Amino acid sequence: MLKVYGIKNCDTMKKTFRLLEENDVAYEFIDYKKNPPSEELINGFLDSIALEKVVNKRGTTFRKLSEEEKVHLEDAKTAVPLLASHSSMIKRPLIVYPSGMISVGLDPEVILQSK
C-alpha cells in the first residue's frame, strides 16, 4: 500500500486523492498537520531523494523565511530540523511505494505505475 504524505487541504493533495481513488489505488494518508514528520522520517526520505526535490520553494512558508533560514535549506544537516518544524515546506505529495521508491509531486504516470 502507498504511503501518501502531505496536508489534507492542499489543492495538489486533493487532486492526488482523486487520482488514487478514481484508479482504485489503496493508500494510507499521513497528514503533516496531525502527524508532523520527525527528523528521522525526513532523513529517511533524503536517503532516497535529493534535498532540492523535497523542498517546496514556491509556497508561502518558504517565502516568509529569512534569508539565513533559506540558506539552511541548502544543506541536509541544517534543512532537516527546519523541514521538521515547517512541514508545509515539504513538496506534496510525497509518496512512498511498497518497493521503497519515493516520488514527490503530482505525476500521474509515476503514481499509477504502483497500481
Catalytic residue positions, numbered:
10
**DSSP per residue over 68-104, as a string?**
HHHHHTTSHHHHHHHHHH-GGGB-S-EEE-TTS-EEE
Dig out the grid coordinates for 31 from the structure.
497528514
Q: Strand 27-31 vs strand 2-6: parallel, antiparallel, or unpaired?
A: parallel
Which residues are registered as beta bridge partners of 55? Answer: 90
Sheet holding 94-96, edge to edge: 27-31, 2-6, 94-96, 102-104
Q: How far apart are the first and last CA of the chain?
A: 9
